């Protein structure tokens, strides 16, 4: 399939990057791990479970917006052009656009989890035999280069799920600027969760069934399996909290007691109650959406919302 790297090369690059990121983050004064490492095959499957939880409103709310405006959104893609999705996962919501986008030439799902991406791409090719499916294994938090011949095709970017809220403001700006620099880019469709009631926000990231906790702890499981670490997942508890000043949900793993972890020949000390910051989910207002867009070369062409304005699907177009 177009745009993929050899599996051995991907595995080695991922392993080296995982070790480097983990050691850098876990030896910093505020321990952290990059949320991109949550999405191995098991993590991606857990996240798909999260999207179906009753507390997790973003997925169903965004899905409703996409259904209500599918014709207008799919119409943004030029005839025989490409829809390019960042962090595609299982491409569930994308099918809403693919179902009505008979004029699409190519769908380019981009994801860091190679095995999950390839399985999804095969399934999509069976569902849409007339559409070219061109999966690209890449980390969208870094600049993504379109391989030939995709680079020259007119294209629309797609970034649903409010995943942009998981990026730092600097990385969110870098991503928007990077997509703006793609050849042939005509629009960028971005899902953005909005500021709302604190209890509703926290519940969405700390569900009663504990699936989100399993998802966040999976990063420790992955370090144990792939990097030979010795984390005891039961010695860390999951914690989600709302930061009103930064307008974000913070997700941490908190050490239950003093302990030492071995990782890649290093020993990392944890004190009781010391936290590892895993992820942040930023929420937006109409004003902050506009400011972010304009600072990176985009105009807000339209903002589709649900009836209660809890979530937005924003169409960005390049500033002229």
**Which pLDDT does position 96 carry in this prediction?**
97
**Which pLDDT does position 106 carry in this prediction?**
96
Confidence of residue 244 (pLDDT cuts 50, 70, 90): very high
Cα angle 69-49-256, degrees, rounded to a multiple of 5: 130
Q: What is the 3-state secondary structure (H, E, C) of 103-155?
A: CCCEEEEEECCHHHHHHHHHHHHHHCCCCEECCEECCCCCCCCCCCCHHHCCE
Whole-number Cα distances in Å, 202 to 73, 96, 210, 241, 273: 30, 28, 13, 6, 20
**Which pLDDT does position 128 carry in this prediction?**
96
**Which pLDDT does position 1 carry in this prediction?**
36
Residues 224 and 100: their CA atoms lie apart, in Å, by: 43
Confidence of residue 8 (pLDDT cuts 50, 70, 90): very low
Q: Output the average pLDDT for the chain.
A: 93
Place of tokens 């569902």: 127
Residues 187 and 157: their CA atoms lie apart, in Å, by: 6
CATH number, domain at 64?
3.40.50.150
Residue 11 has pLDDT above 80, yes or no: no
Residue 161 has pLDDT above 50, yes or no: yes
Place of tokens 């009781």: 272
Closest by CA to 143, choosing from 93, 180, 191, is 180
**Which pLDDT does position 7 carry in this prediction?**
37
**Which pLDDT does position 114 carry in this prediction?**
84
Instruction: Please give the residue range of the domain that contains residue 11.
Output: 1-320
Whole-number Cα distances in Å, 167 to 34, 75, 135, 176, 180: 10, 28, 23, 11, 17
**Which pLDDT does position 49 carry in this prediction?**
94
Report if pTM > 0.75: yes
- Residues 6 or more apart from 311 whose CB is under 8 A from it? 57, 58, 61, 62, 65, 162, 191, 192, 193, 194, 305
Q: What pLDDT digit, counting tens, does each position of 39-74 carry? A: 888 998 899 899 899 999 999 999 999 999 999 999
**Which pLDDT does position 6 carry in this prediction?**
38
**Which pLDDT does position 70 carry in this prediction?**
98
Residue 3 has pLDDT above 70, yes or no: no
Positive/negative CA dihedral, 162, 10, 252, 204:
positive
Closest by CA to 144, choosing from 82, 185, 86, 190, is 86
How many structural domains is the chain composed of? 1
Q: What pLDDT digit, counting tens, does each position of 135-154 carry? A: 999 888 888 888 888 898 99
**Phi and psi of 90, rounded to 5°?**
-85, 0
């Amino acid at each position: 399939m177009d745009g993929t790297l050899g599996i051995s090369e991907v595995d080695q690059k991922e392993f080296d990057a995982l070790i480097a990121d983990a050691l850098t983050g876990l030896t910093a004064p505020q321990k952290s791990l990059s949320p991109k490492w949550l999405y191995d095959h098991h993590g991606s499957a857990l996240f798909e479970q999260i999207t179906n939880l009753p507390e997790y409103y973003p997925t169903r709310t965004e899905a409703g917006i996409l259904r209500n405006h599918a014709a207008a959104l799919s119409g943004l893609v030029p005839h025989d052009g490409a829809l390019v999705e960042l962090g595609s996962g299982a491409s569930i919501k994308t099918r809403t656009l693919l179902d009505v986008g008979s004029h699409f030439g190519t769908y380019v799902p981009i994801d860091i989890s190679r095995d999950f991406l390839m399985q999804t791409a095969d399934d999509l090719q069976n569902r849409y035999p007339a559409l070219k499916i061109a999966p690209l294994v890449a980390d969208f938090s870094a600049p993504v280069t379109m391989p030939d011949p995709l680079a020259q095709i007119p294209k629309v970017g797609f970034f649903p799920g409010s995943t942009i809220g998981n990026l730092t403001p600097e990385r969110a700006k870098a991503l928007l600027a990077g997509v703006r620099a793609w050849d042939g880019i005509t629009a960028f469709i971005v899902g953005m969760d909005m500021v709302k009631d604190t209890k509703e926000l926290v519940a969405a990231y700390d569900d009663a069934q504990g699936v989100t906790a399993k998802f966040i702890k999976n990063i420790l499981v992955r370090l144990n399996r792939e990097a030979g670490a010795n984390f005891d997942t039961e010695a860390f508890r999951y914690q989600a909290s709302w930061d009103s000043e930064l307008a974000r949900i913070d997700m941490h793993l908190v050490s239950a007691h003093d302990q030492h972890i071995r990782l890649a020949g290093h020993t990392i000390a944890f004190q009781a109650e010391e936290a590892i910051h895993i992820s942040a989910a930023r929420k937006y207002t109409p004003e902050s959406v506009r400011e972010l867009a304009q600072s990176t070369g985009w105009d807000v062409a339209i903002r589709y919302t649900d009836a209660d304005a809890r979530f937005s699907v924003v169409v960005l177009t390049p500033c002229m």
